[in-house]
Chains A and B, each alone.
Chain A
Amino acid sequence: MKVIYTDVLIIGGGLAGLRVATGVKERGHDAVVLTLVPPKRSHSAAAQGGMQASLANSKMGEGDNEDVHFSDTIKGSDWGADQIVARMFTHCAPKAIRELAHWGVPWTRVKRGDRTAIINAKKVTITEKDEAHGLITARDFGGTKKWRTCYTSDGTGHSMLFAMDNKAHEDKVEIHERLEAISLIHEHGRCFGAVARNLMTGELVAYVSRATTIATGGYGRIYSVSTNAIICQGIGQAIALETGVATLGNMEAIQFHPTAIVPVGILTTEGCRGDGGLLLDKDGYRFMPDYEPEKKELASRDVVSRRMTEHMRKGKGVKSRYGDHLWLDITILGREHIEKNLREVKEICENFLGIDPAKEWIPVRPTQHYSMGGIRTKYTGESQTLKGLYSCGEAACWDLHGFNRLGGNSVSETVVSGMLVAEYISDYLESPESHLSIHTANVAKFVHKEQEKIDALLSRENGEDAYVLRRRMEEIMMDKVGIFRNGDDLKEAVDELEELYKRSKSIEVFRSKSHAANPALENAYRTQKMLKVALCVAYGALLRTESRGAHSREDFPRRDDENWLKRTITSWVKEDDTLPTVTYEDIDINTMEMPPGFRGYGKDLTDHNKDTAHRQSTVDMIRKHLEAEGADRFHIQNVLMPFKDKLPKKYRGINERFGENI
Chain B
Amino acid sequence: MSENKNRILKISILRFDPNDPEDFPHMETFEVEEADGMTLFVALNEIREHHDNSLKFDFVCRAGICGSCSMLVNGKPTLACRTLTKKLGENITLAPLPLFELIGDLSIYTGKWMRGLNERLETWIHDKENELQVDKLEERMEPELADEIYELDRCVECGCCVAGCGTIQMRPDFVGAVGLNKVARYHLDPRDKRDDEEYYEMIGDEDGVFGCMTLLGCEDVCPKDLPLQSKIAYLRRMMIKQGLK
Residues of A within 8 A of B (CB): 37-38, 40-43, 45-46, 55, 94-99, 101-104, 106-111, 133-137, 152-153, 155, 158-159, 162, 165-167, 169-170, 175, 177-178, 200-202, 229-231, 263-264, 266-267, 321, 340, 343-344, 347-348, 351-354, 467, 509-512, 514, 516-520, 523, 651, 653-658, 662
Contacts and interface: CB of A to CB of B under 8 A. Distances in A.
Interface in B127-182: 127, 130, 132, 134-143, 146-147, 149-150, 153-154, 156-157
B55 A519 contact: yes
Contacts of A41: 60-61, 66-68, 111
B29 interface: no
Main secondary structure of the interface of B (DSSP, over half): loop
Contacts of B138: 55, 97-98, 101-102, 107, 135-136
Interface string B49-82: 1001111101111111111100000000000001
Contacts of B149: 106
Contacts of B192: 104
Contact of A108 (B135, B146, B191): B146
Interface stretch (B112-120, B200-208, B234-242): B112-120
Contacts of B229: none
Given A106-B149, A229-B60, A178 B141 contact: no
Contacts of A651: 134
12 contacts: A38-B110, A42-B66, A46-B61, A102-B130, A104-B192, A152-B146, A158-B156, A169-B119, A169-B123, A264-B37, A348-B64, A519-B54
B66 A229 contact: yes
B160 to A, nearest CB: 14
B135 A520 contact: no
Interface string B1-41: 00000000000000001011000000000000000110100
Contacts of B54: 511-512, 514, 518-520
Given A40-B157, A170-B122, A516-B19, A653 B53 contact: no
A517 B123 contact: no
Contact of B140 (A134, A165, A654): A134
A231 B68 CA distance: 12
B53 A133 contact: no
Contacts of A352: 37, 39, 63-64, 82, 84
A46 B58 contact: no
A103 B124 contact: yes
B18 to A, nearest CB: 9
B60 A43 contact: yes
A51 to B, nearest CB: 13
A497 to B, nearest CB: 21
A109 B140 contact: yes
Contacts of A520: 48, 53-54
B115 to A, nearest CB: 7
A297 to B, nearest CB: 22
Given A99-B134, A101-B138, A134-B142, A177 B53 contact: no
A657 B122 CA distance: 32
Contact of A511 (B52, B109, B134, B147): B52
B111 A37 contact: yes
Contact of A104 (B55, B136, B191): B191
A177 B157 CA distance: 15
Contact of B136 (A98, A137, A177, A516): A98
Contacts of B37: 263-264, 352-353
A307 to B, nearest CB: 25
Given A37-B111, A155-B154, A111 B19 contact: no
B189 interface: yes
A514 B23 CA distance: 12
Given A38-B157, A354-B84, A658-B137, A267 B62 contact: no
B125 interface: yes
B19 A45 contact: no
Q: Which 7 A-B pairs rank lowest in CB-CB distance, beginning with the nearest?
A: A134-B140, A38-B111, A512-B54, A516-B19, A95-B134, A520-B53, A106-B149
A46 B124 contact: no
Nearest to B68: A41
A37 to B, nearest CB: 5
B107 interface: yes
Contacts of B109: 178, 200
Most buried by A among B39, B66, B123, B132: B66
B183 to A, nearest CB: 13
Given A38-B110, A134-B143, A166 B103 contact: no
Contacts of B66: 37, 40-42, 45-46, 229
A243 B31 CA distance: 43
Contacts of B141: 106-107, 109, 134
A655 B123 contact: no
A335 to B, nearest CB: 16
A204 B130 CA distance: 44
Most buried by B among A97, A133, A340, A352: A352
B104 interface: yes
Contacts of A101: 138-139
A197 B19 CA distance: 15
A137 B140 CA distance: 11
A166 B135 contact: no
Contacts of B110: 38
A610 B60 CA distance: 48
B51 to A, nearest CB: 10
Nearest to B127: A102
A498 B27 CA distance: 42
A134 B122 CA distance: 27
